[in-house]
A and B are shown apart, each in its own frame.
Chain A
Amino acid sequence: MAYSYLEFERPIAELTEKIDELSQMGADSEVNIADEVERLRKKRDKLVEQTYSKADRGQMAQLSRHPDRPNFLDYVPMLFDDFQELHGDRAFADDGAIVGGIAKFRELSVMIVGHQKGRNTKEKLKRNFGMARPEGYRKALRLFKLAERFDMPVLTFIDTAGAWPGIDAEERGQSEAIARNLMDLAVLKVPVICTVIGEGGSGGALAIGVGDRLFMQQLTIYSVISPEGCAAILWRDRKFADEAAEALKPTAKDLETLNLIDAIIPEPAEGAHRNPEAAAEMMADVLDKALRELLKTPVEKLLEAREARLRQLGVFNGE
């Protein structure tokens, strides 16, 4: 499989190429170069570890949108069985940027809803790059209510640059659609677990991101505005996106420090973009634990806790 590499991943790519070449040579030649290959592999492991653990916030933003990063629909077969997609908002259209349906998660029927960015050009267009229109949020809300009616926990997967900024979206009430989801998710009478699996972009992310638990995978970001957008406004130049990323503090670690997430879901050393199966397994364990815990909580207690959780958000002085 042909991988894509980000600029700062180049050294990893080069080393990997070298290892591949050497391994091939080793098969053809008489010389035993296994030791050398082994040495280089160890070197690469170390390089991988360093590259991702030392990535600055601008690089983390790039990683969260890595072209090889698994999409929601890549994870679905790894995490769930018997997925039945449910389409449409019953009013206007079926928005491909948000996918939802019923699936089995470790023997439990759950409602799953996530942004789908799309892998190739054709799918990206079909999915509008994961930027939903009002009908996408309204489809999500319809599925949340359906889940509530049948005592089905809700699992959401966030991966969007943001809600679609288009004429059509405004005409159909983008603001209202997002707002309604925030309000109704806050009192949905089933457990809601939200996970950022890539880019958590602003209100478009939050519209499926209010619940009892919020998790972020290790190499993801969640931000009020994209670093580029922030740079355009505050620096008046998108070139300052890295500076903006530093200022916005959008990484999983940052949100953990701010007490805004419940846990960081670890990723394999080489990142979810190189080993999606391992990433899915790590995610499944966290989701499973949270889900079973929430299902043991009576609904009134669940809603009380969610309300308290939302009520206390924010940092300020004074009384």
Chain B
Amino acid sequence: MSWLTRLIESPKSILSSSDSSSAPEGMWLKCPGCSETLYNKDLIRSKMVCSKCNEHLRIEAEKRASFLFDVDTFEEHDTTLKSVDSLNFKDKKRYKDRIKDANKKAGNSDAIRNYLGDIKGQITSASIFDFNYMGGSMGSVVGEKIVRGMERAIEYQCPYLLITASGGARMQEGVLSLMQMAKTSSVANRLNEAKLPFVCLLTDPTMGGVSASVAWLGDVILAEPKALIGFAGPRVIQETVGEKLPEGFQRSEFLLEHGLIDAIVDRRELPAHLKMLFEHLMHRAYRQAG
């Protein structure tokens, strides 16, 4: 079951570690998809998508926000929420220490950042997972932030966008983390009632408790190309069924083929795509027709 740890340690995340964002201009990076050496500055321009093989590199929430929102229109919210070690959890390491290390590595916003800002002029409440922070795992803070993101959408009568990148529930919070699945799913009903668009964008990876709750409850489910998305990790499945997994199993393209998501969207086209989608969903033909 260590697919999660393997994911965390996979070479892709080297590129998305906070080092890359603070790296001096002119640094070269190797694409994990095609091994092409890429110029950092070019990569930023192409929204961290490899210009040669179209690999969508994993990126941290802050960078994603800067790619998504119109310049100078967005602000991060709910930054004071902090994880608590209510179980006094200790494996090889204490949860308290894991939190400290994660704060150092990925900033103080826990595994998700909430924003309010404009996407091509459309004000949008967005929650963006940060895989760099403890594998984007969902604990009480992540659950609360998602709910607040939804409530903010209702307050501003605007769309809610959830961008996932998560290994699943945060084991170190025990069953409290499991209950975040129920909490976030419950509040998604209020977006429905308010007739506000709820769009999910699933990115690499989206697994376990996040996948099996709020990630799949959007009105429209989008995914980035080749993202690993599923309930159980591929290795767990392989160990359980003892069969070879099909080619491309649990990748976005596989999910699209099986009718599980609406569309695959290139990161570079995301803002325009969302703008159009939101316009359609908020158009209200009855009202327009008087």
Residues of A at under 8 Å CB distance from B? 163, 165-167, 169-176, 178-180, 182-183, 186-187, 202-203, 206-207, 209-210, 222-225, 229-230, 232-236, 243-244, 247-250, 254-255, 258, 260, 306-307, 310-311, 313-319
Choice from B175, B187, B215, B240 contacting A179 with Cβ under 8 Å: B215
Q: Is the CB of B213 within 8 A of A223?
A: no
Choice from A183, A225, A315, A317 contacting B189 with Cβ under 8 Å: A183
Contact with A along B196-223 (1 / 0, CB 8 A): 0000000000001101111111000000
Chain A residues with CB below 8 A from B277, complex form: none
Enumerate 23 A-B pairs (CB-CB under 8 Å) in ascending A order.
A163-B232, A166-B232, A167-B237, A170-B231, A175-B216, A182-B186, A202-B209, A203-B178, A203-B181, A203-B231, A206-B178, A210-B182, A224-B173, A230-B91, A234-B91, A234-B171, A235-B92, A250-B175, A260-B176, A260-B179, A313-B140, A318-B81, A319-B81
Query: How far, in angstroms, from A206 to B171 measured CA to CA in the complex?
Result: 15
Given contacts A258-B175, A310-B182, A317-B81, contact A175 B211 (CB under 8 A): yes
B141: interface (CB < 8 Å)? yes
Report B34 CB to chain A, min CB distance, Å: 27
Report B6 CB to chain A, min CB distance, Å: 10
Interface centre among B2, B216, B231, B258 (most CB of A within 10 A): B231
Given contacts A235-B91, A247-B91, contact A314 B231 (CB under 8 A): no
DSSP class of A's interface residues: helix, strand, loop or mixed?
Answer: helix
**Given A173-B259, A313-B176, 11 further pairs, Cβ under 8 A:** A163-B231, A167-B245, A172-B258, A174-B230, A178-B213, A179-B185, A183-B188, A210-B185, A234-B91, A234-B171, A258-B176
Given contacts A167-B249, A203-B213, contact A314 B144 (CB under 8 A): yes
Residues of B at under 8 Å CB distance from A? 1-2, 4-5, 80-84, 86-87, 89-92, 139-141, 143-144, 147, 169, 171, 173-183, 185-189, 208-209, 211-217, 229-233, 236-237, 240-241, 243, 245-246, 249-250, 258-260
Q: Is the CB of B171 within 8 A of A225?
A: yes
Query: How far, in angstroms, from A230 to B174 measured CA to CA in the complex?
Result: 10
Choice from A170, A178, A202 contacting B237 with Cβ under 8 Å: A170
Query: How far, in angstroms, from A223 to B249 measured CA to CA in the complex?
Result: 28
What 9 A-B pairs have minimum CB-CB distances, sorted nearest first? A165-B232, A314-B140, A182-B185, A186-B186, A318-B80, A234-B91, A310-B186, A224-B178, A232-B1
Q: Is the CB of B175 within 8 A of A315?
A: no
Given contacts A165-B240, A224-B169, A310-B186, contact A170 B249 (CB under 8 A): yes
